[in-house]
Chain A
Amino acid sequence: MGLGTFFTSKLDEAIGWARKYSIFQYPFVTACCGMEYMATACSHYDIDRFGAGLPRFSPRQADVLFVVGTISHKMAPVLKRVYDQMTEPKWVVAFGVCTCTGGFYDNYATVQGIDTIIPVDVYIPGCPPRPESVIDGLMKLQDRIAAQAQRY
């Protein structure tokens, strides 16, 4: 014990600090929430302040899957595949009520919450959420990334 444990926990903290400020998102944008996502990503709200300013358009290069917009049953296998292609460590943000619960699309076509398909770390409700809510969700994700046990 002693030295080893002390060293590991401090390394965990350092890695967590680094990871929370280097979020490379994969925006999986399917619907109107995409507008609010774009507003958040642009200079007015500037998510680059949180180290999340560079979306990657390949899941293999991304850490955080932003699921932005309604997911239909037809789209569900695609989303699952994108999630599976991402390398560890990875996180998922459900952006908007449609991804959280299906929203008001309680019908034959819509997945009733993406957490029925893939694990979700942060839920951002709203239809669509304001950029402030998105940033709040992003900061909650940062806290989560920093606080969790790091695997490396």
Chain B
Amino acid sequence: MDGAAMLAALRARFGSGVIETHDFRGDHTAVVTREALPRVLAHCRDEPALAFEMLTDLTAVDYSKYPGREDGPRFEVVYHLYSIAHNHRLRVKVRVDEDDAVVPTAVDLWPVADWFEREVWDMFGVRFAGHPDPRRLLMYEEFVGHPLRKDYPIDRRQPLIGPTN
């Protein structure tokens, strides 16, 4: 299925669950609501015409200092899907606010989401509801804060041993 048709089908099926779609030079993106996200992802994986068997990446973006988007929802969680059967890709985004930075987990759909979601929690402080093991992935347990947030001071050090250099 070609990308534009894919986006049109998603809009038709999920209605207001799809906030907006982008189609730029062969990259196709659907921005969906948090409520619709589990259904959209499950549909993307299980619908034979889409068949996104593979979650190639799951990450997040902090828009708090992005020109023009300072006032909108702070975080965007991004899912990159790939279909081996059809050799096509889709990007799904969901926006969350800082005070309620929780997104439903995708571990039940793609087990690989386990470590991706732990990394996003570690680096951005976005929680994934229903994650089986919601610990930090990269930093140590003693670490305070989330270093890839735009308001994490660039020179703040939290060493386990040795001076705060």
**Residues of A near any B CB (own CB < 8 A):** 73-74, 76-77, 80, 106-109, 111-113, 116-117
Contact = CB atoms under 8 A, between A and B. Distances in A.
B87 interface: no
B163 A108 contact: no
Given A74-B139, A77-B160, A108-B152, 6 more contacts: A76-B160, A76-B162, A108-B157, A109-B139, A111-B159, A111-B165
B161 A77 contact: yes
B161 to A, nearest CB: 5
Interface string B55-77: 00000000000000000000000
B165 A76 contact: no
A80 B161 contact: yes
A77 B162 CA distance: 9
Contacts of A116: 162-163, 165
Given A74-B139, A74-B140, A113 B165 contact: yes
Contact of A117 (B138, B140, B156, B161): B161
Contacts of A74: 138-140, 160
Contacts of B5: none
A141 B138 CA distance: 35
Interface of B: 138-140, 147, 152, 154-163, 165
Contact of B140 (A73, A106, A113): A73
A57 B158 CA distance: 30
Contacts of B155: 106
Contact of A111 (B140, B156, B162): B162
Contact of A107 (B140, B154, B162, B163): B154
Contacts of B163: 116
A11 B158 CA distance: 47
Contacts of B152: 108
A76 B140 CA distance: 12
